[in-house]
Structure 1
């Protein structure tokens, strides 16, 4: 097993190298001062006091022996080098200890992260200490774990709900067919009625699967982007004729359900036109479906605060303000005030979930607010379109 080039080892070697380089520079300067005079200093050492002792004749300088001076300098240099080597070793040891102490929280974070699995996403690093870079990293990882845990819980809840939604009609269809086939004397009309009920249930499953695919596509992100206008898409959705199995679809005449009013100002943006069309259709369909008889639905488009915006409001059942945001979760339904409950018009509980996924894929802000008198106001603010490129430079 080779030597691991760890951060602790690199910090230790860096600390030792810096100390050795600084010590060598200090030693070189000290040796230069000891061997040579510095003419730019302009300072002479003080003359020794005259104590009346016999000495050299006047005018003859007291010059030390060159051989003795050179030997003193060699001993000084050798002692300084040995001291530098010793202190470098000490600095490396201290650097190893300090680096280990500084990196101890990182080792604890790595050990905790290794122990966290899909079954223990509730655990957190919870690093304590001063608000330094390590604490910031630990808090960032804890925030990531919070989002990951929420995503796992949402995924498990979504799978459980989807399984239930798909299993219930299958169980109903099997029971209906078994009961019908168990009657050997069943008439053709009875068999035809059973087949029609199975087909009706099958259509509901098809809508559920299509909604799940749209939700998955919206959560995956955008494959391509194109220029579009929210006003044009909203007008296309409102002009579409109501489907036979959607008695609560937009476009119903007055007296047959809520009246739909449109105020469509230009709102250019960039995105996937098919997904944005599904977003508008889901909001309009939900606004009509979850309404009161002879209620109103208002659809507005325009640019607000520099952002292309779609607003859909309706006069529906009273929703608690704290429950409005929960409606974007999959399979969350309003059980009261539903229009068009008959036939296949009951909701799947995925309408606003698909809206939230498509809005997220486009980088749009989704705001769901409950009206005091009943109903919802849904606002989707898309990012502004990019600025057009400027004219090419002149040759």
Structure 2
């Protein structure tokens, strides 16, 4: 094809496929690998055949005159008949073709078996089966290492989708009541023809209080969802410094309630997300103060014990049955609802603690004290035992 100036023009390449357009036939990777392996096997066989047949051309079979004994092969003379040698070599080469192809197909299939497992599992996961894993097993090589990395990726994707579903469900459940209350408050006020400036001001203050409550609730839900999604950056975290800051920020709250807040802080350095660990410490101490009796105590301890970095929070308070401990770590579970009508607690504190501990692969132990209250211990790992720091 030429343009008006007489120069030839190349047709434009089409990069997109229209519906119904003819697509290229898919080239099988196993067929290409089979051709590669079969060629190598065939060339190797050809070389071996050459090494065997070339020396035979210099050998001669001789038999003494009048002797009935078999011939003796010597190293001198005209050698073996070239015609017979060519026929034998040709037959061997023809026989080597299917052998090389079969061996190449088998080797390629064995090599591609882990990739087929990866493909099948990826298809299943893309269809919504997020709990499925590759689990390639042995032997340990580059493909099984890739499978392990993909399993970790699939686990993080599942945790992320699960956290998203929980966030949507929890947010819709918990925000429905305050939003309905806010709407009712505004509708009643607007429907009152005798509402004066003082009434409107009071309603606005109540609306602001409801808005602040919803803002704190959404922030708690976001922290919970972020914790359930897992840790991506593993940084060195000075647990002692974080606990000290949180304790100082809660002294006024403890003083107003008459709680004796004491700490025993030994050096403790772990690894993880500083912000999430800060949320864990804050919720533990806030829970210990909020659900305590006036005049009682809260003890916070940090220390390093062997390969573990330990954070312990012990508080007094009402007696909690052992069969209720698991409920404490579920979202929006309140064992003792506030009869005053205030909703300062959302039932998310210990759920956030559990999610952060699981994200950091820490061990969470909870014991109901016989005299009342809880003893909660979180055992983190030392920085040198944590996963590599992400870029």
Regarding TM over 0.5, the answer is: yes
5+ residue gaps, structure 1: 38-44, 54-61, 244-248, 388-395
5+ residue gaps, structure 2: 1-23, 69-73, 386-391
Residue 333 of structure 1 aligns with which residue?
333
Residue 182 of structure 2 aligns to a residue whose secondary structure is helix
8 A Cα contact 1:324 1:368, kept in partner: no
Q: Mean alpha-carbon deviation: is it higher for 92-101 or for 367-376?
A: 92-101
Residue 377 of structure 2 aligns to a residue whose secondary structure is strand
Q: CA deviation at 1:236?
A: 2.6
For the structure 1 residues 110 and 168, does the alpha-carbon distance in structure 2 shift closer, same or farther, using more than 3 Å as the test?
same
Q: Mean alpha-carbon deviation: is it higher for 201-210 or for 266-275?
A: 266-275
Residue correspondences, number:
353
Residue 376 of structure 1 aligns with which residue?
374
8 A Cα contact 1:366 1:378, kept in partner: no
8 A Cα contact 2:118 2:147, kept in partner: no
**Partners of 1:138 and 1:265 in 2: how far apart?**
41
**Partners of 2:75 and 2:242 in 1: how far apart?**
103
**Partners of 2:125 and 2:275 in 1: how far apart?**
40
Q: CA deviation at 1:367?
A: 0.7
**Partners of 2:95 and 2:239 in 1: how far apart?**
75
For the structure 1 residues 369 and 241, does the alpha-carbon distance in structure 2 shift closer, same or farther, using more than 3 Å as the test?
closer
**Partners of 1:375 and 1:145 in 2: how far apart?**
39
Q: What's the C-alpha RMSD, in Å, of the aligned pairs?
A: 4.7
8 A Cα contact 2:231 2:273, kept in partner: no
8 A Cα contact 1:109 1:138, kept in partner: no
**Partners of 2:67 and 2:250 in 1: how far apart?**
127
**Partners of 2:241 and 2:317 in 1: how far apart?**
26
8 A Cα contact 1:126 1:138, kept in partner: no
Q: CA deviation at 1:274?
A: 5.2
For the structure 1 residues 138 and 225, does the alpha-carbon distance in structure 2 shift closer, same or farther, using more than 3 Å as the test?
closer
Q: CA deviation at 1:20?
A: 1.6
Residue 34 of structure 2 aligns with which residue?
12
**Partners of 1:327 and 1:91 in 2: how far apart?**
66
Residue 17 of structure 2 aligns with which residue?
none
Residue 207 of structure 1 aligns with which residue?
216
**Partners of 1:216 and 1:126 in 2: how far apart?**
26
Q: 1:75-224 maps to which residues of 2 (within 5 A)? A: 75-93=84-102, 95-96=104-105, 107=116, 110-111=119-120, 113-114=122-123, 116-117=125-126, 119-121=128-130, 148-149=157-158, 151-186=160-195, 190-215=199-224, 219=229, 221=231
Q: Does 1:365 align with 2:362?
A: yes
For the structure 1 residues 317 and 222, does the alpha-carbon distance in structure 2 shift closer, same or farther, using more than 3 Å as the test?
farther
8 A Cα contact 2:265 2:301, kept in partner: yes
**Partners of 2:121 and 2:272 in 1: how far apart?**
41
Residue 306 of structure 2 aligns with which residue?
305
Q: Mean alpha-carbon deviation: is it higher for 205-214 or for 157-166?
A: 205-214
Residue 56 of structure 1 aligns with which residue?
none
**Partners of 1:383 and 1:101 in 2: how far apart?**
40
For the structure 1 residues 130 and 376, does the alpha-carbon distance in structure 2 shift closer, same or farther, using more than 3 Å as the test?
closer
8 A Cα contact 2:121 2:134, kept in partner: no
Residue 27 of structure 1 aligns with which residue?
49
User: TM-score of the superposition, structure 1-length normalised?
Assistant: 0.68
For the structure 1 residues 88 and 377, does the alpha-carbon distance in structure 2 shift closer, same or farther, using more than 3 Å as the test?
farther
User: TM-score of the superposition, structure 2-length normalised?
Assistant: 0.69
For the structure 1 residues 229 and 32, does the alpha-carbon distance in structure 2 shift closer, same or farther, using more than 3 Å as the test?
same
Deviations along 1:312-350, one digit per CA (max 9) or x if unpaired, are 122355556676466555x332322x6x77575631233
